[in-house]
Structure formats: C-alpha cells, structure tokens
Amino acid sequence: MDPNAVDAVLQEAVARGAVPNAVVVAADRDGPVLESAAGSRVAGGDEPVGAGTHFRIMSMTKMVATVAALQQVEQGTLRLDAPVEEYCPEFAGLQVLDGFDGDVPRLRPPATKATVHQLLTHTAGLGYWFFDADLLRWETVTGTPNVLSGSNVIFGAPLLADPGTRFEYGINTDWVGKVVEAASGLGFDVAVKEGVTGPLGMDDTSFAPSAEHRANCVPVHMRAPDGSWQPSELDLHPEPEYYAGGHGLYSTPRDYLRFQRALLGDGELDGARILRPETVDAAFTNQIGELDFPAAITTADPGSTADFCVGPGHKWGYGLMLNTEDLPGRRRAGSGAWAGLCNTHFWVDRTTGITAAVYTQTLPFVAPDVHQVYVDVETALYASL
C-alpha cells in the first residue's frame, strides 16, 4: 500500500472542505499497514485527529453486537431459528404499521413471528425513521422519540413489514442486545466487554466513555449556512436506559481495527479467538436468500442522511453488507462492510486479505461529497496493491 497516495486524498479532501477531518487505518493478515490522518479534531482548531482519536462509530456497533450474539449461538444458549419473543416476551406485542387513518396509526398483527435470525439479517420488519417516512410520521404523531434518545420506549416501535418479506434496515440490532442479555444472563455492555473488546485488547472502545475519552472525541460537524464545517453539541445520551447494540459504541480507528483484523483472521487475533472460523464464514455468506439489500434507499430525513445508493448486487450476511461482484478498482466480491451514521466506514476483504476503515464525524450520512472521500480512499488503497 502507498501511504502517500492516501495522505494526498485526505489532505486534498480537507483542504477543499469535503470533510472537516479524516482518519484512515488499514491492515493485512500480518498486521496494521497504514495510519493516515488530516484535519483537526474540531474544525478550525489546532489539535490534529489521528488513529487514537475517539469517534462515535454508531452502526459499526452492529457487527460487534452481532458477534456477541453469534458467541451465544456457539455456546448453545441462543437459537437463531427461535422466535424473538422466546428471549424477549415483550416482542410479541409488536404489530405492523399498515398506514394511517388521519393521524391515527393503523396497526395489525404480523403474519408470522420474527426470529433471531431475522433480527441479525434486518428481515424482521423493523425500521429507522431516517429511511421510512411512515415510521417518522408514527414517531411524530405518537410522541415517541427515535433510538438516539437512549430511552427504552423505542422498543415499542412497530414493524414496517411482515417478518421475512423484505430487507428493512432498522433497530433490529438494538433488540439483539436485549436477546444477548437474556441468553447470556449478562448486561449487554458486560457481554461485549467479556466476549469481544476485552479479549481483543480494545481498551478504548466502550458504551460509556470516560471523561478523558470524551475530551478526545471528535464532535459531530454539520454545514454552516456558508458551507463551512461547524462542530455541534449533538451526542448520544450520556446515561442511556439501555446499551444500544445498534449504535452505542465509541471507539478509535486503531482500536476498531483490531476487531476488523479478528474478522480477517477467521475469528482470531493474537491468540484470542472470538468466533469459530465456520461462524465467520457464515457472517460473510448471504443470509437473506432471494431478498436483496436495496440498490437505493431514499432518505426520509435529509438532516440525518442523504439517499443511500450502493447499486445492485448486494446481500447481507451477519452484520455485514456483502458485494456479490468485484467493485472495479476496489474491494473484491464477497467482502463484508458497514458504516456508521456519522460517516465512519469499514470493510473486510478476505479475498485480498485487506481490511480498512475511513473515519470522519459529520451529518448527514453519505452526503455525496463526504462519501466520495471514502470511495477515493478505497481506490487509492487498491491501486497500490
């Protein structure tokens, strides 16, 4: 890999204002091979970002939570084909949102019971407000906050489709956290610490960052009216009622790379095994059958996300979006990837033996100029292989 090429991409992106800052880390099967960074932790400041800076990794939490669940499967305490309500009886009360009569939500029972497998594959019918206008309307008319509130009330949100009928990205992995707690008998934060971050030596990754870690965290930046980047006060709830398997972790690029390397290493890193090789294989295998990851998802909340357009040919494994064909000049077919709402992105390419991640901290998600930096970084990395 050519670190100078990646440095050039990041420096140029920050200089032209595409992002306020950016960090890239990469590794192969032998270990870390690249750390690159540009910009300041706070736009306009003089403290540089780096691979040891903290970020809200948001939905990159999902793969960690997925591993915690798969560990319970390996231990025999959790069945993927079991109804979710077997572990979380309250799930049985969820209904499908079937439109509105005026401002009154129209609800009906689901045709089938959602399974744990469907939670892990986003086929249980649960959604997010920023990708579904009906759910956003339901939250508005019922006065229910979204998942970023940290409140347990979010677990009353309805399904948007019958289980198993379509891929619907949503709060499934927050429910997975509840399932892991029931299966393991541990708090979800403890299950993650004992099963994943502890064994991998990820000491800078947690649901409840210390004061020192918070002071080292990049604020969420948004565009000012003049187009410049301005830091905001947006943050996750400091004392949530539940630890969010869908979005709750803070980490550093260097720390999370250890997790990526464990996936690249068939579930093992530096003698610590977090999953069996066959379980990792399953995570990188299509788990949604004939269903597809949508080629394009239209935003329902432009302040949170732009349209998310990955194109055709994508499936979902366990916690990972899978491309079924090579991306020209980029990752190979069968790679697993995902991202976080504040524009953190990672991928694991087991064909070439490369894993990498790109971090900034901005909203909205996948704004075209921000997302292009991710594409440019990946292209620069693969150009020098």
Show which residues are catalytic.
59, 62, 169
With beta carbons less than 8 A apart as the criterion, state whether 252 and 52 touch.
yes
How many Cβ atoms are within 10 Å of 313's Cβ, its own excluded? Answer: 14
Determine the length of the chain: 385
Angle at 309 between CA 298 and CA 51, to 5 degrees: 115
According to the 3-state scheme, what is the secondary structure of 72-135? HHHHCCCCCCCEHHHCCHHHHHCCEEEEEECCEEEEECCCCCCEHHHHHCCCCCCCCHHHCHHH
For residue 331, the one-letter residue type is: R
Report the 10 Å Cβ neighbour count for 158. Answer: 21
Asked if 255 contacts 202 with a C-beta cutoff of 8 angstroms, the reply is yes
Report yes or no: 377 and 354 within 8 Å, Cβ to Cβ.
no
- Give residue for tokens 């429910």: 175
Long-range pairs for 207-213: beta carbons < 8 A, 24 or more residues apart: 207/240, 207/243, 207/244, 207/248, 207/249, 207/250, 209/54, 209/250, 213/54, 213/250
| Measured distance CA(28)–CA(1) in Å, rounded | 10
The number of C-alpha atoms within 13 Å of 239 and in the hemisphere containing its C-beta is 0
Alpha-carbon radius of gyration of the chain:
20
